[in-house]
Amino acid sequence: MNAADRDIPMRSRHLGWSSALHCAGLVLFLVIVYGPVGALVVESCRAVTRSNFDWLLLALPSGRRAVLLIRSVGLASGVALSSTAIGLLVACTLWQWRAGARAYVRWGLLLLAPLPPYIHALAWTSTWTAFTTLLHFQSLSSMTGWLGAWWILTMTWLPVSTGFALVGLESVDVALIEAGRVARADSHVFLKVAVPLALPYIIVGGVFGFVLTLTDYSVPSLCSVNVTALDVFAEYSASNEPARAFLRALPILTITALAAVLCQAPLQRAAQSPPWRRREPSPSLAMPRWLTQLRRAALALMVMQIAVPLLSLLVATGSWKSLTLSIAAARSDIADSAWQAIVTVALCVPIGLAVAQELDGHGHRARLWLFLATAPLAIPAPLAGIGVITMWNRPAWIDLYGSSLAPAMATSARFAPFAALIMLAQWRRLDHLLIDAARVHQTSALRTWLQVRLPMLAPGLAAAACVVFALSIGELGATLLVTPAGASTLTMRIYNYLHYGASGTVAGLCLVMTAVAIGAVGLALAILGGWNIIGLSTDRGGRS
């Protein structure tokens, strides 16, 4: 078998095929994710030059709106700080849970990560009301206002910040910590070695909390506080002018884009850190008493973060019968939601894969794609919805726009970056020599794909699919705007009920949503965990 006998043209055609698919994925990503924003920018420029120059003033917050913006940013900063601090304390406990059953429990605490914020809002407000009534504190009877919104959003994003901090701590080489323990006290080593090395991840988690809070309007609206994101939504509902809504959103868009830019450096470091190769459990560090107490308190909050929604929804639903009744009544909405989520997964996973491969490089190109993949996370949900409307609501596309594909386009625009980042995270954990070995010994490109690349990618693909499914089932901000007249999804039904306070029914539907979130994340974790156990990750495979 020498080189000359081999069928070179055939192989280069295969290579051509896979790179053509790859490029198609990248282009589709740009169209789906950036198309809506691009359409909004074009539309706004057109509207402004069509003599509505005074509309430009919409972009400059003044008076009441400036105060509103400051308050919104204050709320987002508060939520980011509190959830990062609690998340780090929780993660530092979970980090040491590596033996026995606790090793499984620790990731289980992240189950509610994709649960939409308004469900947390419902759960916490009803629990609070029950609690204050029980204790006869009627004066405090409802969990509304800024404080309520801050608390609910902190609880909502706690699993996200905990997850980032935990991944960060996990990625620290145990040898580095042990080298420090020889010289200094454990708490010193934790603060001077472990936390600084995990810092990029912790910062990214905090920025996520900040941006997600700033762009959410569901919780503020349920807590009766006004924020800029709600103002954008209201502007569009009142004027039906995409350009006006876009200009209104420019201030928060600037701030979130700035946050996205600022977190490029830590993201870069997190994305490029060497794949984790951990064989030893994390050392159990002796911490000072006060830190141990704080960690216990944080863990208790984390448990409440799961227990409160679950228990209060179960209690509010009442009985099995009322659960089945509310499901039966919402049957078609559930089907619509599921369909939307399936289409979103089918779109996001392949294009996310193409982007993830671009992200896994070193040069300027990888840096550019990292920016392109993370910047869309800064787009407020209603803007994503309005963008999809502006882009697709044209005579040529009217069939597409009127169909149930439009909501899936909106959720894809929001969640394709998540798919890419999850796949990148899994991909980075693999030993890249395994791919090099396949390149050297390859007999056919297809076979290399099926036998080596696909099995190695599979857990990432599956985990991304699960998470995107859960996120798009719960998506509200964009779906609410885009769903064609007459159609309705599960989230819309819940959100509408929430404002009327139809508690038994809505609690049942929220329970369905919670079950979907838990099921999806549980499945993703089981896939990733099972993959670890059968030895597919670098942790155990290919010992040297």
Contacts with another protein, residue ranges (CB under 8 A): 1-4, 6, 8, 11, 15, 362, 431, 433-434, 436-444, 451-452, 455-456, 534-537, 540-544
> Which residue's CB is nearer to another protein, number 361 or number 504?
361
> Which residue's CB is nearer to another protein, number 181 or number 278?
278
How distant, in Å, are the alpha carbons of 15, 59, 128 from that of 133? 68, 44, 8
Query: Taking the complex as a whole, how short is the minimal distance between the CB of residue 435 and another protein, in angstroms?
Result: 9
Query: Taking the complex as a whole, how short is the minimal distance between the CB of residue 540 and another protein, in angstroms?
Result: 5
Query: Taking the complex as a whole, how short is the minimal distance between the CB of residue 16 and another protein, in angstroms?
Result: 12
Query: Taking the complex as a whole, how short is the minimal distance between the CB of residue 542 and another protein, in angstroms?
Result: 5
Query: Taking the complex as a whole, how short is the minimal distance between the CB of residue 184 and another protein, in angstroms?
Result: 29
Query: Taking the complex as a whole, how short is the minimal distance between the CB of residue 468 and another protein, in angstroms?
Result: 24
> Which residue's CB is nearer to another protein, number 136 or number 441?
441
Query: Taking the complex as a whole, how short is the minimal distance between the CB of residue 444 and another protein, in angstroms?
Result: 7
What own/partner pairs with CB < 8 Å and gap ≥ 24 does 314-318 have? 314/511, 316/126, 316/503, 316/504, 316/507, 317/504, 317/507, 317/508, 317/511, 318/504, 318/507
What's the rounded Cα separation, in Å, for the pair 241 and 249?
13
Nearest 10 degrees: CA dihedral of 222, 224, 225, 226?
A: 90
Which residues does 532 contact at the CB level (< 8 Å), separation at least 6? Answer: 539, 540
> Which residue's CB is nearer to another protein, number 6 or number 394?
6
How distant, in Å, are the alpha carbons of 144, 258, 481, 487, 536 from that of 334? 29, 37, 18, 11, 36
Local structure of 468: helix, strand or coil: helix
Residues composing the chain? 544
> Which residue's CB is nearer to another protein, number 70 or number 175?
175
Query: Taking the complex as a whole, how short is the minimal distance between the CB of residue 436 and another protein, in angstroms?
Result: 5
211 near 378, Cβ under 8 Å?
yes
What's the rounded Cα separation, in Å, for the pair 148 and 219?
9
Query: Taking the complex as a whole, how short is the minimal distance between the CB of residue 15 and another protein, in angstroms?
Result: 7
Local structure of 75: helix, strand or coil: helix
> Which residue's CB is nearer to another protein, number 151 or number 427?
427
Q: What is the residue-wise DSSP string for 215-262?
A: H--HHHHHTT---HHHHHHHHHHHH--HHHHHHHHHHHHHHHHHHHHH
Query: Taking the complex as a whole, how short is the minimal distance between the CB of residue 192 and another protein, in angstroms?
Result: 25
> Which residue's CB is nearer to another protein, number 288 or number 535?
535
User: For 501, left (φ over 0), alpha (ψ -120 to 50), or beta?
Assistant: left
253 near 152, Cβ under 8 Å?
no
249 near 61, Cβ under 8 Å?
no
User: For 514, left (φ over 0), alpha (ψ -120 to 50), or beta?
Assistant: alpha
Please report which helix (H) or strand (E) contains residue 145, including its range. helix 145-170
Tokens of residue 255, six digits: 């701030």
Pick from 79, 72, 114, 376: nearest CA to 221: 72
> Which residue's CB is nearer to another protein, number 455 or number 501?
455
> Which residue's CB is nearer to another protein, number 102 or number 447?
447
CA 53 from centroid of its chain's CA atoms:
37
What's the rounded Cα separation, in Å, for the pair 190 and 291?
11
Query: Taking the complex as a whole, how short is the minimal distance between the CB of residue 437 and another protein, in angstroms?
Result: 5
End-to-end CA distance of the chain: 30
Query: Taking the complex as a whole, how short is the minimal distance between the CB of residue 532 and another protein, in angstroms?
Result: 11
> Which residue's CB is nearer to another protein, number 324 or number 444?
444
> Which residue's CB is nearer to another protein, number 139 or number 544?
544
Which residues does 132 contact at the CB level (< 8 Å), separation at least 6? Answer: 138, 140, 141
> Which residue's CB is nearer to another protein, number 115 or number 457?
457
